[in-house]
Chain A
């Protein structure tokens, strides 16, 4: 490895490479911040563009888009409660309340630092331990995926602020909505009512935009500004505001969770962000402040989703198995350059591969600098009059929902989810829990069905494998504090 690192590092000093990394990261931030535009879409669109470029230029451009896109999702999640990417959904739980308190700039700065360190941790893992970690990820089979989904679902307990029963109902409602469409095992169409647009299931992004964005703007119709007290002097105080202390442990924990979950094909950044948020809340001395603007909530979610970047590339480069859809698009970028994932990438093409890995460090640095510098200016959005902001967000939500499948049906679905989400939230049902059920439903169902086929119907398969047992134990440990704190409250 060391013989490749020095030439790889020197290849990055080429100004054109530095320019492509910066350009890719900026494009990624913009794409990530826009609901409906995904890093996968941007990387896929760049593949033909990179065909004519030298391999390192093309790969570093796509790597920059990936890193920037993952961070960019936090910007709209924090300022408008509209996650630019599904992975930033958990960021909005505490980021948006912070913006409402006039701390949008601080929340954005925390997101930038947490994303940076999450990305750095996972890129180090990619650089130093890729082959070992890739083989570990292969030990995850359907039963482990099912238990991992259960671990994610246990976050419902965390996300629920009031009645636990209502939180669970919201989570199960999400699981129910996720059953719409083709059954993954038999191919049978369920609850589609003959609507062709539902054959692939309820599209996730329009549902997410509706539940988070439209329901929020309907609530904002009663107010004049997102952050009522924010004025010109507040803006300058944002520039001077210091980062809260004590976030280091949460960020490191999130980065590690993101790296591990990111390596698992199909699991992805969204689940890792929720699991990390759950860990942070359950390990906190003041869990009741989560969901009300606790900086650790932002740090946990953002470090985990950016931690997935390096994690998802580990099985891609070593085994040719992409960890998620963006990594799959990146694989297209590798193939178009004639690079086949596997051991040769680290030997014959070592300089190029390590150059690409090192370029991810630089991409993280670029979005950190941009994020910190621009945070106070982005935060100005919260002082825009709601009468202007509301129609603007609706327009972006409409085009964002439409752009996924170029389909007006998705727009109506998004509006429907928005209105339903508004009334559910008012009724005390957590839309976060609903989204979690929607995300994890397909993974849980597929893992459950495949496992039972493997075990010929015996549910013992979920309890007799070492990794499953470890995951069950972690899940139970995560749930204990929530229930004991509930009991303590009752006793008090």
Chain B
């Protein structure tokens, strides 16, 4: 791992520790023991972050590529966000029926029959297990009666 990246993680750790410390400082007296626990966690987190900051671990750690396939990674993240946003409006089943083929196509899969079968099988399975047997009230969106 790049030492600069490690230092960025260290800075984030110190920032989190400081936030925890400041947050716990405002706890009321009745939550004094909870505050002490948070101080303890913040202290250890800060200490570990400082150790990571000063230790040169560049040689000992394997070099990772953050994102191996940027296009596929980004379309998957974007599709998941769009899917999550669409569920309350389109309902779980319609949103899922659109999400699965769209993401499969964006990931360069070009076999429509398999996509259709896969989507059907997954949605039928979800319906049978979650809705039919367990009665989970999935979001229905615009189909809400």
- The interface bits of chain A over 349-360 (1 if a CB of B lies within 8 angstroms of the residue's CB, else 0) are 000000000000
A449 neighbours in B (Cβ, 8 Å): 33-34, 37
- A176-B16, A395-B100 as given contacts; A162 in contact with B62, CB under 8 Å: yes
Complex CA distance for A191 and B23, rounded to whole angstroms: 8
Within A166-185, which residues are at the interface with B (CB < 8 Å)? 166, 168-169, 172-173, 175-176, 179, 183, 185
- Check B84–A217 contact: CB distance below 8 A: no
Within B79-129, which residues are at the interface with A (CB < 8 Å)? 79-81, 83-84, 87-88, 92, 96, 99-100, 103-104, 107-109, 114-115, 118, 122-123, 126, 129
- Check A217–B122 contact: CB distance below 8 A: no
- Check B34–A183 contact: CB distance below 8 A: yes
A185 neighbours in B (Cβ, 8 Å): 31, 33-34
A415 neighbours in B (Cβ, 8 Å): 80-81, 84
B134 neighbours in A (Cβ, 8 Å): 37, 41-42, 45, 403
With both chains docked as a complex, state the minimum distance between the C-beta of A416 and any C-beta of chain B, in angstroms: 10
- Give the nearest-CB partner of A408 in chain B: B88
B5 neighbours in A (Cβ, 8 Å): 427
Complex CA distance for A163 and B99, rounded to whole angstroms: 39
Sample of 14 more A-B contacts, CB < 8 Å, known A172-B41, A179-B34, A190-B27: A30-B129, A175-B41, A176-B41, A179-B41, A183-B34, A186-B33, A188-B27, A222-B72, A387-B108, A390-B107, A394-B103, A395-B123, A403-B130, A403-B136
Contact of A395 among B52, B57, B96 (CB under 8 A): B96
Complex CA distance for A306 and B67, rounded to whole angstroms: 37
Most buried by A among B34, B45, B81, B138: B34
- Check A37–B137 contact: CB distance below 8 A: no
- Check A221–B73 contact: CB distance below 8 A: yes
Contact of A394 among B51, B80, B114 (CB under 8 A): B80
Can you sample 12 A-B contacts with CB below 8 Å?
A: A37-B129, A45-B134, A163-B57, A172-B44, A176-B20, A190-B34, A218-B73, A395-B122, A398-B84, A399-B136, A415-B81, A426-B66
Q: Interface of B with A (CB < 8 Å)?
A: 1, 5, 9, 13, 16, 20, 23-24, 27-28, 30-31, 33-34, 37-38, 41, 44-45, 48-49, 51-52, 55, 57, 60-62, 64, 66-69, 72-73, 76-77, 79-81, 83-84, 87-88, 92, 96, 99-100, 103-104, 107-109, 114-115, 118, 122-123, 126, 129-130, 134, 136-139
B41 neighbours in A (Cβ, 8 Å): 172, 175-176, 179
- Give the nearest-CB partner of B65 in chain A: A426
Complex CA distance for A72 and B107, rounded to whole angstroms: 30
- Check B68–A222 contact: CB distance below 8 A: yes
Within A391-421, which residues are at the interface with B (CB < 8 Å)? 391-392, 394-396, 398-399, 402-403, 406, 408, 411-412, 415, 419
- A183-B31, A221-B72 as given contacts; A399 in contact with B126, CB under 8 Å: yes
Contact of A162 among B61, B104, B126, B129 (CB under 8 A): B61
Asked if A165 is at the interface of the complex by the 8 Å CB criterion, the answer is: yes
- Give the nearest-CB partner of B29 in chain A: A186
- A391-B103, A394-B83, A449-B33 as given contacts; A169 in contact with B52, CB under 8 Å: yes
- Check A218–B77 contact: CB distance below 8 A: yes
Complex CA distance for A34 and B96, rounded to whole angstroms: 17
Most buried by A among B9, B49, B107: B107
Complex CA distance for A408 and B84, rounded to whole angstroms: 8
- Check A222–B69 contact: CB distance below 8 A: yes
Complex CA distance for A415 and B38, rounded to whole angstroms: 26
Complex CA distance for A166 and B61, rounded to whole angstroms: 11
- Check A188–B60 contact: CB distance below 8 A: no
B23 neighbours in A (Cβ, 8 Å): 190-191
- Check B31–A398 contact: CB distance below 8 A: no
- Check B62–A411 contact: CB distance below 8 A: no
Complex CA distance for A88 and B83, rounded to whole angstroms: 28
Asked if A377 is at the interface of the complex by the 8 Å CB criterion, the answer is: no
With both chains docked as a complex, state the minimum distance between the C-beta of B77 and any C-beta of chain A, in angstroms: 7
- Check A176–B45 contact: CB distance below 8 A: yes
A399 neighbours in B (Cβ, 8 Å): 92, 126, 130, 136, 138
- Check B129–A34 contact: CB distance below 8 A: yes
Complex CA distance for A214 and B73, rounded to whole angstroms: 12
- A427-B1, A445-B37 as given contacts; A166 in contact with B52, CB under 8 Å: yes
- Check A169–B129 contact: CB distance below 8 A: no
Complex CA distance for A440 and B66, rounded to whole angstroms: 30
Asked if A385 is at the interface of the complex by the 8 Å CB criterion, the answer is: yes
- Check A221–B69 contact: CB distance below 8 A: yes
Asked if A388 is at the interface of the complex by the 8 Å CB criterion, the answer is: yes
With both chains docked as a complex, state the minimum distance between the C-beta of B67 and any C-beta of chain A, in angstroms: 8
With both chains docked as a complex, state the minimum distance between the C-beta of B94 and any C-beta of chain A, in angstroms: 12
Complex CA distance for A183 and B20, rounded to whole angstroms: 15
With both chains docked as a complex, state the minimum distance between the C-beta of B27 and any C-beta of chain A, in angstroms: 6
Asked if A115 is at the interface of the complex by the 8 Å CB criterion, the answer is: no
B92 neighbours in A (Cβ, 8 Å): 398-399, 402
